[in-house]
Amino acid sequence: MAHLLDTTTGRAAIAFVGEAPWHKLGQRLTDGADLETWRREAGLAYTVQRTPVLFQRADAGGADRIEAMEGRDVLYRSDTGNALSVVSHGYQVVQPGEVLDFFGKLAQAGGFVLETAGALSDGKRV
């Protein structure tokens, strides 16, 4: 879809207060909603998991073998199981909830309020 909103769970992963920001999709929240409500309604309640990259190849005898790619992991969503990216072992994962917590604290410290939160590109961007 042109708007890139994550819809992998069957609904648009965006929450907002006030006027609907993107294509009139998402969940409208009341002013002052807590971060847990934001996390759930913005579609950010999943965690990013990691597992080794595996591939299949034929050995010298023609039999298929499954092997791990050294130094690489696949990041995937805990809720849908969808792959997000391939990264090195040293890549530091920042969870969607941590991103929301950061912006929630920043808004509170600066005297601001959250207006919109969500995920794009099947959850690859928060």
Q: Where are the domains of the chain?
A: 14-123
Token digits of residue 106: 């920043």
Note whether 14 and 118 are within 8 A (CB): yes
Token digits of residue 55: 């591939």
Tens of each residue's pLDDT in the chain, 126 residues: 557 999 999 999 999 999 988 788 999 999 999 999 999 999 999 999 999 999 998 888 888 999 999 999 999 999 999 999 999 999 999 999 999 999 999 999 999 999 999 999 999 999
* Cα gap 86→76, rounded to integer Å: 9
pLDDT value for 2? 54
Task: Please choose, from the candidates 44, 1, 54, the residue with its C-alpha nearest in 3D space to the C-alpha of residue 25.
Answer: 1
